[in-house]
Amino acid sequence: MLKPPLPLGSLLFLQLPLLGVGLTPAVLTPSGNEDITADFFLTSTPPGNLTVSTPPLPEVQCFVFNIEYMNCTWNSSSQPQPTNLTLFYWYKNSDYDKVQECGHYLFSSDITSGCWLQKEEIHLYETFVVRLQDPWQPSRQATKKLKLQDLVIPRAPENLTLRNLSESQLELSWSNRDLDHCLEYLVQYQSDRDHSWTEQLVDHRPSFTLPSVDGQKCYTFRVRSRYNPLCGSSQLWSKWSRPIKWGNHTSNETLLLFALKAVFIPLGSMGLVISLICVYCWLERTMPRIPTLKNLEDLVTEYHGNFSAWSGVSKGLAESLQSDYSERFCHVSEIPPKGGAPGEGPEGSPSSQRSPYWAPPCYTLKPET
Amino acid sequence: MDRIVLCLMVIFSGTVAHKSSLQRPDRFLIRMRQLIDIVDQLNNYVNDLGPEFLPAPEDVKRHCERSAFSCFQKVQLKSANAGDNEKKINVLTKQLMRKLPPTNAGRRQKQRLTCPSCDSYEKKPPKEFLERLKSLIQKMIHQHLS
């Protein structure tokens, strides 16, 4: 049984448009324009193969730290597939124009994400060319030209010192270990009563004068530096220096002392007063007031013998002092003298002396002999 | 007594001379700082400058910085439009063309090997011309301060 012939003609016909799909290679000519970045290159593909678009390479950023070392980094996590990209560098039109691979890679999650270059490999005023490349696809590369003098980040200023030039004039000075003549500075200061910093740009001289200071305030100063404009055009500031304070002792209170004086003492005093008032009210309620004794004449003339009204004892207290029990009257009589029948008295026999109601036994008074 | 007075005068003269040398202004550095300002001001009028390409040295070899700077000075920056900006550009260009004060390094450069001619340098539009000029000035300042 014969096999049907393969449609070769149709296959060839289909491949014709595919040959035109592959883009011509983009040739990078060093035109001298700075910061040229080519994201990716596509090369022409052999017939019969489909073109595969390659993802763009991440952008490389380089910073020179105090002209001591340089870091060139890229975002390795932006890659669709984790790839250990390689970095090459050289200096254009220079004695150091030999292409070199990075000798000290930086890693992020075990993937290359940067390159560390030491001081001897940094040449500021020569065009630095850096190329990031995919080692598995050499055609996938990106090249960038940089002016390293515009990428310097200096160290923060140190040794801030203050001195009085006069009674109200203050001078702040500091030092930079290196690059001092090439730096400009930004000074910020604020008093303890200000809500924001006041700033002043200072040229390469490492000093700043505040013409008038208030002796009652506490001032804080800090400084940062930048490699601009004398020796470079960097827009990157250093970190702030350690702040330095100036002011008298009374205004130099710590936050704790201030909280103690401004908050705790008034609150404590108010609490003490309120508690004393509460104790007084409680005592007034539970313990009776000692009555005030007025003029005795008033007892007779004004109050007509009403002792409680005169003494000022409250009605409730007077009622409370009244007895709430009753006693039987105790009839006391004298024992009749001797001579009479025993038991007889001037008023008859004892049996006849029995009163209508029986009086409880009580004490009797003996007659006098 | 005379000898004592003479010794004191010598010591005093030496002290004054030493102090005066310390206080002598760095004319070269002052001039270079002025040039930085001039270039920054010219950048404000870069859109008014002519479109023609100008020789703009870059990556200048060591000890050829003054030669390269003179190539920048030889260029006649002109305004493409007449008006107030043209006068300001002319003033700034004249300030750019003033001769640099000498330095010890500058004296040594005359004895070095010849530097490339101005025509050998790449030509660039005015914006990049000014950027490369500023970079060269910064390099010269850094070398002077080092």
Question: Cβ atoms within 10 A of the Cβ of A142, count?
Answer: 23
**The predicted structure's pLDDT at residue A89:** 97
Closest chain A residue by Cα to residue B30: A230
Angstrom distance (rounded) from CA B121 to CA B55: 6
Does the residue A262 lie in any domain?
no
pTM of the model: 0.64
Say yes or no: A184 contacts chain B, CB-CB below 8 A: no
Examine the domain organization and report whether A121 and A144 are in the same domain.
Answer: yes
Which is the CATH superfamily of the domain at B27-96+116-145? Interleukin-15/Interleukin-21 (1.20.1250.70)
Angstrom distance (rounded) from CA A70 to CA A155: 13
**The predicted structure's pLDDT at residue A45:** 41
Q: With an 8 Å Cβ cutoff, are A231 and B124 in contact?
A: no
CATH value at residue A144 = 2.60.40.10
Does the residue A369 lie in any domain?
no
Structure tokens at B73: 């000075």
Q: Which chain B residues have a beta carbon less than 8 Å from that of A230?
A: 32-33, 36, 138, 141-142, 145
Does the residue A347 lie in any domain?
no
Note whether B132 and B124 are within 8 A (CB).
yes
Q: With an 8 Å Cβ cutoff, are B59 and A127 in contact?
A: yes
Q: How far is CA B66 from CA A233, B38, B39, B96, B108, in A?
A: 21, 17, 17, 13, 11
Please give, rounded to a whole number of angstroms, the shortest distance from the CA of A89 to a CA of chain B.
16
Question: Of the candidates A151, A168, A183, which is a domain's last residue?
Answer: A151
- Residue with tokens 């000798």, as numbered in its chain: A103
Q: With an 8 Å Cβ cutoff, are A231 and B142 in contact?
A: yes
- Mention every residue, 6+ apart, whose C-beta is less than 8 A from residue A309: A303
Say yes or no: A176 contacts chain B, CB-CB below 8 A: no
Mutate to test the interface with B, among A122, A125, A176 (most CBs of B within 10 A): A125
**The predicted structure's pLDDT at residue A344:** 46
Q: How many domains does chain A have?
A: 2
Q: DSSP per residue over B54-67, as a string?
A: EE---SPPTT-HHH
Contacts 24+ apart (CB under 8 A), A236-240: A236/A63, A236/A151, A236/A152, A236/A153, A237/A153, A237/A186, A238/A153, A238/A154, A238/A155, A238/A156, A238/A157, A239/A156, A240/A156, A240/A188
Of residues A335, A323, A294, the one with CA closest to residue A311? A294
Examine the domain organization and report whether A173 and A107 are in the same domain.
Answer: no
Examine the domain organization and report whether A164 and A132 are in the same domain.
Answer: no
Mutate to test the interface with B, among A126, A230, A233, A235 (most CBs of B within 10 A): A230
Q: With an 8 Å Cβ cutoff, are B142 and A233 in contact?
A: no
Examine the domain organization and report whether A197 and A247 are in the same domain.
Answer: yes
Closest chain A residue by Cα to residue B65: A125
Examine the domain organization and report whether A143 and A166 are in the same domain.
Answer: no
Q: How far is CA A265 from CA A251, A256, A270, B7, in A?
A: 18, 12, 9, 72
Say yes or no: B134 contacts chain A, CB-CB below 8 A: yes
Please give, rounded to a whole number of angstroms, the shortest distance from the CA of A94 to a CA of chain B.
7
Q: Which chain B residues have a beta carbon less than 8 Å from that of A147?
A: 135
Does the residue A51 lie in any domain?
no
Q: Which chain B residues have a beta carbon less than 8 Å from that of A231?
A: 138, 141-142, 145
**ipTM field:** 0.81
Beta strands in A40-127 (DSSP E): 61-65, 69-73, 86-91, 100-101, 105-108, 111-118
The closest CB to that of A93, out of B59, B135, B141, belongs to B59
Does the residue A332 lie in any domain?
no
Say yes or no: B64 contacts chain A, CB-CB below 8 A: no
Question: Of the candidates A151, A177, A208, which is a domain's last residue?
Answer: A151
- Mention every residue, 6+ apart, whose C-beta is less than 8 A from residue A283: none
∠ CA B103-A147-B110, nearest 5°, is 25
Q: Which chain A residues have a beta carbon less than 8 Å from that of B131?
A: 34
Segments in chain A forming alpha helices (H): 8-21, 255-259, 265-286, 296-301, 307-311, 315-321
Examine the domain organization and report whether A176 and A106 are in the same domain.
Answer: no
Q: How far is CA B11 from CA A30, A196, B21, B51, in A?
A: 63, 54, 16, 63
Closest chain A residue by Cα to residue B127: A33
The whole domain housing A244 covers: 153-252
Angstrom distance (rounded) from CA A275 to CA A270: 9
∠ CA A324-A326-A331, nearest 5°, is 155
Say yes or no: B139 contacts chain A, CB-CB below 8 A: yes
Please give, rounded to a whole number of angstroms, the shortest distance from the CA of B82 to a CA of chain A.
29
Say yes or no: A94 contacts chain B, CB-CB below 8 A: yes
Say yes or no: A96 contacts chain B, CB-CB below 8 A: no
**The predicted structure's pLDDT at residue A181:** 85
Examine the domain organization and report whether A147 and A163 are in the same domain.
Answer: no
The closest CB to that of B138, out of A91, A127, A230, belongs to A230
Q: Which chain A residues have a beta carbon less than 8 Å from that of B36?
A: 229-230
Examine the domain organization and report whether A133 and A194 are in the same domain.
Answer: no
Q: pLDDT digit string (tens) for A101-119?
A: 999 999 999 999 999 999 9
Q: What percent of chain A is predicted at pLDDT more than 90?
A: 43
**The predicted structure's pLDDT at residue A143:** 96
Residues of chain A with pLDDT below 70 are 1-53, 248-255, 288-289, 291-294, 312-315, 318, 338-369
Angstrom distance (rounded) from CA A79 to CA A294: 103
Question: Of the candidates A135, A151, A167, which is a domain's last residue?
Answer: A151
- Residue type, position B92, single letter: L
Does the residue A69 lie in any domain?
yes
Say yes or no: A234 contacts chain B, CB-CB below 8 A: no
- Mention every residue, 6+ apart, whose C-beta is less than 8 A from residue A241: A156, A157, A158, A160, A174, A222, A223, A224
Say yes or no: B122 contacts chain A, CB-CB below 8 A: yes
Examine the domain organization and report whether A80 and A169 are in the same domain.
Answer: no
Angstrom distance (rounded) from CA A284 to CA A289: 7
Question: Cβ atoms within 10 A of the Cβ of A77, count?
Answer: 11
Angstrom distance (rounded) from CA A299 to CA A172: 86
The closest CB to that of B138, out of A33, A91, A149, belongs to A149
The closest CB to that of A182, out of B40, B124, B145, belongs to B145
What is the residue-level pLDDT of chain B in tens, covering all 146 positions? 888 888 888 887 776 665 555 556 788 999 999 999 999 999 999 888 888 899 999 999 888 999 999 999 998 888 887 788 888 898 999 999 888 888 765 555 554 568 999 999 999 999 999 999 999 999 999 999 88
Does the residue A95 lie in any domain?
yes
Partner residues linked to B59 by β-bridges: none
Q: With an 8 Å Cβ cutoff, are A149 and B128 in contact?
A: no
Structure tokens at A219: 């001032």
Q: With an 8 Å Cβ cutoff, are A181 and B145 in contact?
A: yes
